[in-house]
């Protein structure tokens, strides 16, 4: 295929094209969940979104005959590079027709941009960091994505590999069911762990929400610091995410572990709001908001998206205590399927623990690299 050009997103019309492309490409994908256009625009707002206080980004479109056929973001995340002592660049928000020439051209432009801004290599996709949606789905296409997880056409991994990218790391998603999981063993372990370590696990306090988010932010960096790809969020970014999640979270599924007044761990599961978003078609108006409000009450699945323990308590089994409490509470609240995601492929302890508890690995996401 020829006759296409790559252009930087400039102005409102081009930004709308950038936001709209997945709606065109994934229109016939039965498992794709349309994001809220408004939320995507907020995330792309380089003036207002706190992510960009510590990062630079440029957005590009591939155009052919006046039609948008691809998009990509080029990102240099100073927080990541400072934390990991790397000179990495990133790409994200990658969407493309099934044409390797277009994909390669988009990736080349993104790579040239990040190199221009001091990077030695490029990794992705991250939208715009690992704290948000990230990775390309490479298996498990027959399931809808859960909240804050990606979905893409099946040809994306092939496009990226034919364009010259190689695997950097796989991220795994596990599925279990709160009603069928064998609780006896895990509850025995959990109760013993909590008693032995003097850890009190409690739900987040909605009346003191801001203060609890502050407490969690204090341990957040320490609990996840050693994870591959972890990017510390600024206080502003963390608080914005907390504010957005407050609208959908259930207090009994957001757990804080304390020893005395010290927070030593944190676990969070969110109701799978994608079930409601799918019916809204990407817009709140004229009927999207009503559909979300209606279907939100019918959500039956949850995603465990954070479970972290500070290092001194990591060997104590506190993670199992959190997990047991989450599953127990999810069951009591009437939830069924429970996704644990994402887990690094080489996090042997966590992967083995989930398998022992009967969880099944059902999706794989891949982060690619281009040196």
Structural domains of the chain, with CATH: 4-169 (3.40.630.30), 176-370 (3.40.630.30)
For residue 339, is it left (φ>0), alpha (ψ between -120 and 50) or beta? Answer: beta
Q: Are 151 and 139 in contact (CB under 8 A)?
A: no
Non-local (6+) Cβ contacts of 249 within 8 A are 204, 268, 270, 271
The whole-number pLDDT of residue 185 equals 66
Encode pLDDT of 324-344 as tens digits: 888 889 989 999 999 999 999
Q: So what's the pLDDT on residue 318? A: 81
- Tokens 């408004």 belong to residue: 38
Residues above pLDDT 70, as percent of the chain = 98
Reference 214, options 223, 204, 224; nearest CA is: 204
- Residue 99's nearest CA partner among 67, 59, 142 is 67
Q: Is the pLDDT of residue 317 over 80?
A: no
The residues, any chain, with a CB within 8 Å of residue 28's CB and separated by 6 or more, are none
Structure confidence by residue, pLDDT tens digits, 255-300: 999 988 899 999 999 999 999 999 999 999 889 999 999 999 999 9
CA distances 246 to 202, 213, 239, 250, Å, are 17, 10, 10, 8
CA angle (182 as vertex; 176, 184 as ends), nearest 5: 145
Tell me the H-state helices in the chain: 12-25, 37-43, 78-84, 100-116, 156-162, 183-197, 209-224, 235-246, 274-280, 288-296, 318-332, 348-356
For residue 307, what are the contacts with CB-CB under 8 A and spacing of at least 6?
A: 265, 266, 267, 268, 319, 322, 323, 340
pLDDT of residue 37: 97
Residue 7 pLDDT greater than 70, yes or no: yes
The tens digit of pLDDT for each residue in 171-223 reads: 999 999 877 776 676 677 677 777 777 888 899 999 999 999 999 998 888 88
Between residues 323 and 64, which one has the greater pLDDT?
A: 64
Confidence of residue 91 (pLDDT cuts 50, 70, 90): very high
37-55 pLDDT, tens digit per residue, is 999 999 999 999 999 999 9
The model's pTM is 0.94
50, 91 contact by CB (below 8 A): no
What's the pLDDT at 298? 94
pLDDT at residue number 350: 84
> What percent of the chain is predicted at pLDDT more than 90?
78
Q: What is the mean pLDDT of residues 59-86?
A: 96
Task: State residue 261's pLDDT score.
Answer: 87
- Give pLDDT tens digits for 118-165: 999 999 999 999 999 999 999 999 999 999 999 999 999 999 999 999
Of the listed ranges 21-25, 66-70, 184-188, the one predicted with least confidence? 184-188
In three-state secondary structure terms, 28 is coil
Nearest to 8, CA basis, from 78, 106, 126: 106
Neighbouring C-beta atoms of residue 106, cutoff 10 Å: 26
pLDDT at 195: 76
Rounded CA gap, 257 and 265, in Å?
Answer: 5
**Angle, CA 137 vertex, CA 170 and CA 309 arms, to 5°:** 45
Q: How many CB atoms lie within 10 A of CB 285?
A: 9
* Token pair for 62: 């591939």
Mean pLDDT within 359-371: 96
Given pLDDT bands bounded at 50, 70 and 90, which one contains residue 349? confident
Please check the confidence at residue 315 and state whether its pLDDT lies above 80: no
If you average pLDDT over residues 313-334, what whole number do you get?
84
**Confidence band for 2, pLDDT divided at 50, 70 and 90:** low
The per-residue pLDDT of the chain, averaged, comes to 93
Residue 204 and residue 212 in contact, taking contact as beta carbons nearer than 8 Å: yes
CB contact at 8 A, 17 and 61: yes
């Amino acid at each position: 295929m020829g006759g296409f050009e790559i252009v930087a997103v400039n102005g409102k019309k081009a930004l709308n094209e950038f936001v709209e492309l997945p709606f065109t490409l994934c229109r016939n994908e039965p498992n794709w969940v349309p994001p809220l256009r408004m939320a995507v625009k907020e995330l792309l707002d380089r003036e207002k979104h706190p992510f960009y206080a510590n990062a630079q980004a440029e957005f590009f479109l591939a155009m052919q005959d006046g039609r948008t056929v691809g998009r990509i973001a080029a990102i240099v995340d100073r927080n990541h590079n400072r934390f990991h002592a790397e000179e990495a660049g990133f790409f994200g928000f990658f969407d493309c027709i099934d044409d390797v020439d277009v994909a390669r051209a988009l990736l080349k432009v993104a790579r040239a941009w990040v190199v221009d801004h001091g990077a030695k290599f490029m990794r992705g996709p991250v939208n715009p960091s690992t704290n948000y949606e990230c990775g390309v789905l490479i298996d498990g296409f027959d399931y809808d994505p859960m909240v804050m997880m990606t979905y893409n056409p099946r040809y994306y991994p092939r496009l990226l590999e034919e364009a010259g990218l190689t695997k950097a790391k796989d991220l795994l998603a596990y599925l279990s069911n709160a009603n069928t999981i064998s609780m006896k063993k895990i509850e025995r372990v959990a109760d013993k762990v909590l008693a032995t370590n003097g850890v009190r696990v409690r739900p987040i306090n909605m009346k003191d929400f801001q203060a609890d988010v502050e407490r969690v932010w204090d341990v957040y960096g320490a609990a996840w610091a050693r994870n591959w790809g972890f990017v510390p969020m600024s206080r502003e970014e963390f608080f914005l995410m907390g504010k957005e999640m407050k609208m959908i979270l259930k207090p009994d599924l957001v757990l804080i572990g304390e020893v005395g007044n010290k927070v030593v761990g944190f676990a969070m599961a969110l109701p799978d709001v994608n079930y409601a978003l799918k019916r809204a078609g990407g817009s709140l108006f004229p009927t999207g908001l009503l559909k979300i409000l209606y279907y939100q009450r019918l959500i039956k699945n949850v995603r465990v998206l954070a479970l972290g323990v500070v290092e001194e308590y990591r060997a104590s089994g506190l993670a199992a205590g959190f997990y047991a409490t989450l599953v127990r509470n999810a069951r009591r609240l009437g939830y069924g399927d429970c996704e644990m995601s994402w887990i690094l492929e080489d996090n042997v302890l966590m992967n083995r623990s989930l398998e022992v508890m009967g969880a099944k690995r059902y999706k794989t996401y891949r982060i690619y690299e281009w040196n």
